[in-house]
Amino acid sequence: MRDAQPSTVYLKDYRQPDYLVDSTRLRFELEPNSTLVESRLAVRRNPAAGEGLPPLRLDGVDLELISVAMDGVPLSKEEYTCHAEGLIIPVHRAEFTLEIHNRIDPERNTSLEGLYLSNGMYCTQCEAEGFRKITYYPDRPDVMSRFTTTIVASKDYPVLLSNGNEIERGEVDADRHFVTWEDPFAKPAYLFALVAGKLEKVEDHFTTMSGREVTLQIFTEAKNIGKCAHAMRSLKAAMRWDEEVYGREYDLDIFMIVAVDHFNMGAMENKGLNIFNSACVLASPETATDAAFQRIESIVAHEYFHNWSGNRVTCRDWFQLSLKEGFTVFRDAEFSADMNSRAVKRIEDVSMLRTSQFAEDAGPMSHPVRPDSYMEISNFYTLTVYEKGAEVVRMIHTLLGSEGFRRGSDLYFERHDGCAVTCEDFVAAMEDANGVDLKQFRRWYSQAGTPVLEIDDDYDSAGKRYTLTVRQSCPATPGQSEKLPFHIPLKLGLLAADGSELALDSEGTKETVLEVTAAEQVFVFENIPERPLPSLLRGFSAPVKVRYGYTPAQLRLLMRADTDAFNRWDAGQRLAFGALAQLQRDYRAGTELQLQPELLEAYRSVLQQEDLDPALVAEMLTLPSAQTLAEEADIIDAEAIIAARKFTERALAEALYEELLQTYQRLDHDKPYRPVADDIAERRLKNTALAYLCITEREEALQLADSQFASATNMTDSAAALAALVNRGDDQRASTVLHDFYERWKEDDQVVELWLSVQSSSPRRGTLEAVRALMAHPAFELTNPNRVRSVIGAFANRNFEQFHQADGSGFRFLAEQVIALDKLNPQIAARLVTPITRWKKYTEGPREKMHAALQSVMDAGQLSADLYEVVSKSLKTD
């Protein structure tokens, strides 16, 4: 735990490192409470950093220092300074070797940063600043070194892994053995990894485009060895895709993945040795849902893609995090789009962006894609850096086209291979390869907040001229009151009254990308034969909000006829949003709530479109989430949101009962399970229909769920039936299925996590008491982030109704858990507190209660740097 008032690091203060480390030799003697780490560094003065020989500063946290030697000569304690955050060593020569011995305690490391134990297996997590919890080191990404690592351990740990290639192994004595690994590629310390345990593996091979053979291995505990096939398939598909789409080939002889149960996030791209949260790699049809299969495919690809976008070309400093994360998320999203339904993938990503990233952009932690400052970098692994960062890369792709973008990425990889660079270098490569000027576009990296486009149009029927006036603005965000105009690609098409597409020019172009660069700009289309209906921001071509006065009839035309699948869905969302906004007003006014007829008819037509991708139909039938409605509101009235949404869901379910039932029955067939796009789409629609049917709580519907629960042969159908019965119907039925499900699956970690989250996210009355009871259940463990996310995280983030109970009990509960968790795992605590940091946007009652809960976290004192940063910034009232 650090100081309660951590200092702020600024991008403007960046300086080159004073010293470089040409090679790093590490030796670990693994013991649960007392692991010995020996490091031998070849250090050299960085010629680019200036004159003289300043002292060498090494980072180190929670380490027990044993000895320091320079060029083989031991240093006495007076010859260096050891403080809470590292070592300062005077330097007399421009090149020297430094040998440091220290001890660490993996067993007591519950922060899951550095070297720790998970179910008796040693593993590491070094990004961003975890390596300093292993040994003293210049722990910054612009210090790149060649690592050789020897692991010595008891033979109870038969598998000993690190980065690169294995070069030696042998016995130390009768009980202990060792393995030495050498990584030929220089890398920053954050990409270091070590694993030791009793692990089984599955093995496969991949032949690269230049004909090299690569061994692929996935390691896991023996009980999970049957759950690795999907990850292996995904890995091979990702390797091929990166060759075909980006010309990027894998560069080592071996690529390893290890599944770990205790992990702070999804996975980590350590060079040649990716470490994965078990939930993001292990799957079988009986135990994993379609969503899990798709998540695994995308995360395996994401981590693999980092080998080029992140490892070969890395970040100069942590302000540049989006250089690797935004680009890699864009790459994995395109990969998933190619493997599955492109439109559905886009809808899923944009829904998440709109709901959660827009809220982040408008909240107290709002920051640009490239932040200017931070107290704790772990707090900046955000949706803004990742998802908005990916949207920024996508906009470059839209502006340059596929070929232009590929020219840019080729130049970027060629120019910067083996280097630690900046977002600026990425944009410059795109410019230089295409002869374009992206000067104004760069504001996407430096200005926070979600831009708003207000669009008006005018049609001159005599002159057949159609005019679009686009005004852009961006709300003030902390530290940035004034914003300059962004460079925004606005993709659009124009529809005729019969739904056909109008030509935009004499060549017959049907779709174009307008480049919006000014605060107000007018675009004119000539020879437009009738007043058109604009289909704006197709494919969500920029991360902005579009305001245009669509009528319900126009939205229905777009839903039916737009050639852009994303905008068909989006038109439905706008229609539903308008209806829900009216219902919120009616609720507040005490007027009787009534279902808007246009919405009902639109949903009925969607259900009748049997030729449409069923996954798209499922998305179109899903109302905007309560979180999305909250994000869109100026002042969040949680009670009105809940009432409007519940009323609409129920009214739709009642009115469309027959159509939903037919849809369910049409898709309820006994196909053998395959996690492929077409089948996933059918299951998605079937289970969306089931959820709606069960909202009516009619016995017939609940029996359908009962029988699906009893007969399901895959986890997608089983979990959907479970959720339907936990959310609706009588308590007895819910507790019976929950009991049966647990008894059947209690030995399977991933299914138990699903079981926990279904309960925590249920809108059923009394969920908070159920959540408290779950925390006392043997399946719960406060030191396991997956369990924490499944119980506390699911309740606070995915249960709008129960979390926002008017008495404030949900907020107080969250605050209590955050305080307890901060002592064990600051990263998870700082993330979990998010829902109550948005207190300022709520109506008075919840606002005060949320604020009090947040204040109680601050008042608890002794906060980690992670939690302190989030809470102190969120409590500020200016």
816, burial (CB in 10 Å: exposed 0-12, middle 13-18, buried 19+): middle
Is the CB of 265 or the CB of 455 nearer to ligand B3K? 265
Q: Candidates 105-113, 243-251, 319-327, 405-413: pick the segment binding Zn ion (CB under 5 A).
A: 319-327
| Region of residue 535 (left: phi > 0; alpha: psi -120 to 50; beta: else) | beta
Phi, then psi, of 322 in degrees rounded to 5: -70, -20
Q: Give the residue with the Cβ less far from ligand B3K, 281 or 630.
A: 281
> For Zn ion, which is the closer residue by CB, 152 or 301?
301
Read off φ and ψ for residue 73, nearest 5 degrees.
-100, 120
Per-residue x/- track, 679-718, Zn ion (CB under 5 A) = ----------------------------------------
Candidate ranges 258-266, 317-325, 475-483, 526-534; the one touching Zn ion (CB under 5 A) = 317-325
Output the smallest distance, CB 380 to ligand B3K, in A: 9
What's the token pair of residue 135? Answer: 């040994």
Q: Which is nearer to Zn ion, 113 or 632 (CB)?
A: 113
**Residue 387 partner contact from ligand B3K, Zn ion, none using kind-dependent CB cut-offs of 5 to 8 Å:** none
Q: CA nearest 558: which of 613, 509, 493, 618?
A: 493
127 binds, among ligand B3K, Zn ion, none (CB under 5 to 8 A by kind): ligand B3K
Q: Which of 878, 877, 802 is nearest to 847 (CA)?
A: 877
Residue nearer to ligand B3K on the CB measure, 378 or 409: 378
Q: Which does 128 bind (CB under 5 to 8 A by kind): ligand B3K, Zn ion, none?
A: ligand B3K
DSSP 675: -
Closest approach, Cβ 791 to ligand B3K, in A, equals 21
Question: Which one of the listed residues 129, 221, 303, 632 is annotated catalytic?
Answer: 303
- Output the DSSP codes for 825-869: -HHHHHHHTHHHHTGGGB-HHHHHHHHHHHHHHHHH----HHHHH
**Chosen from Zn ion, ligand B3K, none, partner binding at 21 (C-beta under 5 to 8 Å by type):** none
Tokens 């902005």, residue located: 544
Partner in contact with 268, chosen from Zn ion, ligand B3K, none, beta carbon below 5 to 8 Å by kind: ligand B3K
Size, binding site for Zn ion by CB under 5 A: 2
Report the alpha-carbon distance of residue 613 to residue 615 in Å, rounded.
5
Smallest gap from residue 782 Cβ to ligand B3K (A): 19
Residue 867 Cβ vs Zn ion, minimum distance, rounded to whole Å: 23
Residue 257: C-alpha distances to residues 332, 773, 792 (Å): 17, 35, 29
Return all residues near 272 (Cβ < 8 A) that are at least 6 apart: 163, 164, 165, 183, 252, 254, 255, 256
Q: DSSP per residue over 255-308, as a string?
A: EEEEEESS-SSSEE--TTEEEEEGGGT---TTT--HHHHHHHHHHHHHHHHTTT
Site string for Zn ion, 322-361 (x = CB under 5 A): ---x--x---------------------------------
Q: At its nearest, how many Å lie between ligand B3K and the CB of residue 585?
A: 42
Under 8 Å between Cβ of 92 and 53:
yes
Half-sphere exposure of 161 (CA within 13 A, CB side): 29
Name the nearest CA neighbour of 640 among 575, 695, 586, 576.
586
Which residues, 6 or more positions from 78, have their beta carbon under 8 angstroms from its beta carbon? none
Contact pattern for Zn ion over residues 719 through 738, marking x by CB under 5 A? --------------------
DSSP string, 33-84: S-EEEEEEEEEEE-GGG-SS-PPEEEE-SS-EEEEEEETTEEPPGGGSEEET
Whose tokens are 């839209």? That residue is 398
Q: Which token pair is 343?
A: 């439109």
Footprint on residues 546-585 left by Zn ion (CB under 5 A): none
| CB 242 to Zn ion: min, Å | 14
In the bound state with Zn ion, the residue whose beta carbon lies nearer, of 162 and 322, is: 322
Output 277 or 284, the one with its CB closest to ligand B3K. Answer: 277
| Choice between 323 and 796, CB closer to ligand B3K | 323
Q: Residue 738, SS3?
A: helix
Nearer to ligand B3K, 325 or 753 (CB): 325
The least CB distance from residue 80 to ligand B3K, in Å, is: 30
When CB distances are held under 5 to 8 angstroms depending on the partner's kind, the choice from ligand B3K, Zn ion, none that residue 349 binds is none
Find which of ligand B3K, Zn ion, none residue 378 binds, CB within 5 to 8 Å per kind: ligand B3K
In sequence order, which residues have a C-beta less than 8 Å from that of residue 704 and are 6 or more positions away? 664, 690, 693, 694
From residue 534, how far is each of 346, 541, 544 by CA, in Å? 20, 15, 17
CB closest to ligand B3K, residue no: 127
| Least separation in angstroms between CB 382 and ligand B3K | 11
For Zn ion, which is the closer residue by CB, 325 or 348?
Answer: 325
What are phi and psi for residue 772, nearest 5 degrees?
Answer: -60, -40
Whole-angstrom CA distances from 563 to 154, 207, 525, 566 are 63, 40, 20, 9
Spatial distance between the Cα atoms of 651 and 190, rounded to a whole number of angstroms: 53
CB of 329 to Zn ion, least distance (A): 7
CB of 280 to ligand B3K, least distance (A): 10
Could you tell me which of 100, 98, 99 has the C-alpha nearest to residue 45?
98
697 included as an active-site residue = no
The entry of Zn ion, ligand B3K, none near residue 262 (CB within 5 to 8 angstroms by kind) is none
| Burial bucket for residue 703 (CB in 10 Å: 0-12, 13-18, 19+) | exposed
The smaller minimum CB distance to Zn ion, of residues 242 and 706, is found at: 242
Query: Which positions lie near ligand B3K, rule CB under 6 A?
Result: 127-128, 265, 267-269, 302-303, 306, 325, 378, 381
Within 759-788, the residues that bind Zn ion by CB under 5 A are none
- In one-letter notation, the amino acid at residue 119 is N
As measured in angstroms, the least distance from the Cβ of 518 to ligand B3K is: 36
Catalytic site residues? 303
Q: Residues in the site for Zn ion, rule: CB under 5 A?
A: 325, 328
